């Protein structure tokens, strides 16, 4: 199976990391994009997961769905 990573990501989009261990392979919401990195909401891998925000290289993200107009 070939994975096509995102080349363009915008705030409000939903993405997955190419490494399924990141966020358990679940979708992440993109809060902000700066240069070649996207700030995304995801759950920590702690025993008691908490929602956190971290920066990920856009090249490591797969676009799941784009933001809907008017929601960002």
User: So what's the pLDDT on residue 20?
Assistant: 93
pLDDT, one tens digit per residue, over 33-71 is 999 999 999 988 888 889 999 999 999 999 999 998 875
User: So what's the pLDDT on residue 4?
Assistant: 54
User: So what's the pLDDT on residue 68?
Assistant: 85
pLDDT grade, residue 3 (50/70/90)?
Answer: low
More confident residue, 68 or 31: 31
Residues 69, 13: contact at Cβ < 8 Å?
no
Is residue 2 over pLDDT 60? no
């Amino acid at each position: 199976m070939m994975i096509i990573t995102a080349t363009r990501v915008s705030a409000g989009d939903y993405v997955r990391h190419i490494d399924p261990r990141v966020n358990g392979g679940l979708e992440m919401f993109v809060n902000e994009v700066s240069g070649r990195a996207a700030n995304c909401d995801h759950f920590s891998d702690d025993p008691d997961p908490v929602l956190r925000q971290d920066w990920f290289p856009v090249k490591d993200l797969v676009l799941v769905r784009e933001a809907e107009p008017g929601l960002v």
